[in-house]
């Protein structure tokens, strides 16, 4: 039950992380114009994102213009685009795979690979969060470093946009959700190994050379006599005795019916020796 709760919590965190990554990828609020020094006019705000550059006026007008050429962009912007898109794709794959592997779903029910599938989804969430964290941290460092350059005009300086905060929170949520999914998968695997009973060698009988209490082996030899075979031997003995008695009476022997007085218990019965542990 605990692993199921961890899986559900991790899945929700990963889903929120995917939504935050998608929002921060699409919106242009990565950089906003800094109103410092002589640039104190707040009626116009410039914003730059991964796909477009927008201008917001105090009158409520909002105009955006997409970048015309992808190859003409800076290499850092192209890399940020690629990493954010790949992060979103990994998050979507992680959601699909985690849905199949979680305990609260009926997909692959009863299969031993169900926990490993959930762990795979958690690993994809971790990868997606790490990929989203790279461009967010990279852009944040660049904006802060540019802002404190003394020889740069104030009109060219930017501040941190809202998408950087959203992207950072989304990356952390994705990584935390993926970690919870991986932990729940490990807990299920450990619980399955602990659940099985392990017996020593020779279970349920003691191993050869091992005593019950003293650690020494004690053996005893016993002869097992089959009652059926023993009855058959006694009947055959009696029949032979009667035959010999009849023969002796016919021939008028001096020793009649000696075989009738013979004790049948003296004849050994058929048996075999069984050696066991006492």
Mean pLDDT across the chain: 75
Structural domain including 137 reads 1-29+73-192
d(CA 61, CA 196): 68
How does DSSP assign 114-160, residue by residue?
A: HHHHHHHHHHHHHHHHHHHHHHHHHHHHHHHHHHT-TTS-GGG-EEE
Strands 31-33 and 158-160: antiparallel
DSSP state of 270: P
Average pLDDT estimate for 195-204: 43
Query: Taking the C-alpha atoms of 242, 247, 252 and 258 in order, what is their torsion angle to the nearest 10 degrees?
Result: -40
CB 13 within 8 A of CB 124: no
Which token pair is 252?
């008028």
pLDDT single digits (tens) 177-192:
999 888 877 765 555 5
Q: 10 in a domain, yes or no?
A: yes
**Residue 23 is assigned to a structural domain of this protein:** yes
145, part of any domain: yes
Q: Specify if 162 maps to a domain.
A: yes
Residues with Cβ within 8 Å of 135's Cβ and at least 6 positions away in sequence, in order, are 79, 80, 83, 84, 167
**Above 70 in pLDDT, residue 23?**
yes
In the chain, the number of structural domains is 1
Q: What is the pLDDT of residue 213?
A: 44
Residue 95 is part of a domain; what is its CATH number? 1.20.140.150
Asked whether residue 255 is domain-assigned, the answer is no
Q: Is there a domain that residue 126 lies in?
A: yes
pTM over 0.75: no
pLDDT score recorded for residue 240? 66
Distances (CA, A) of 31 to 21, 52, 253: 16, 11, 134
Predicted local confidence at residue 212, as pLDDT: 44
267: in domain? no
Which among 133, 204, 135 has a CA at the least distance from the CA of 174? Answer: 133
User: Is 99 inside a domain boundary?
Assistant: yes
Note whether 233 and 266 are within 8 A (CB): no
Q: How many Cβ atoms are within 10 Å of 181's Cβ, its own excluded?
A: 33
269: helix, coil or strand?
Answer: coil
Residue 24 token pair: 């921060």
């Amino acid at each position: 039950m605990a692993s199921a709760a961890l899986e559900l919590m991790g899945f929700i965190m990963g889903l929120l992380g995917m939504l935050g990554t998608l929002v921060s990828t699409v919106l242009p609020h990565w950089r906003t114009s800094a109103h410092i020094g002589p640039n104190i006019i707040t009626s116009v705000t410039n914003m730059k994102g991964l796909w477009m550059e927008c201008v917001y006026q105090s009158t409520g007008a909002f105009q955006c213009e997409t970048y015309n050429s992808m190859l003409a962009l800076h290499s850092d912007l192209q890399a940020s685009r690629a990493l954010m898109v790949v992060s979103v794709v990994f998050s979507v794959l992680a959601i699909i795979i985690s849905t199949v592997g979680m305990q609260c779903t009926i997909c692959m029910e009863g299969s031993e690979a169900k926990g490993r599938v959930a762990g795979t989804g958690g690993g994809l969430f971790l990868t997606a969060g790490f990929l989203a964290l790279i461009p967010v941290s990279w852009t944040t460092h660049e904006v802060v470093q540019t802002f404190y350059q003394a020889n740069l005009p104030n009109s060219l300086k930017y501040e941190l946009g809202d998408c950087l905060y959203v992207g950072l929170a989304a990356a952390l949520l994705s990584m935390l959700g993926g970690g919870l999914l991986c932990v729940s998968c490990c807990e299920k695997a450990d619980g399955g190994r602990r659940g099985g009973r392990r017996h020593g060698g020779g279970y349920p009988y003691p191993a050869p050379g091992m005593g019950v209490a003293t650690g020494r082996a004690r053996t005893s030899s016993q002869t097992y006599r089959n009652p059926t075979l023993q009855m058959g031997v006694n009947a055959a003995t009696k029949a032979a005795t009667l035959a010999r008695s009849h023969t002796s009476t016919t021939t008028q022997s001096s020793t009649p019916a000696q075989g009738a007085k013979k004790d049948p218990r003296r004849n050994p019965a058929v048996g075999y020796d069984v050696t066991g542990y006492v």
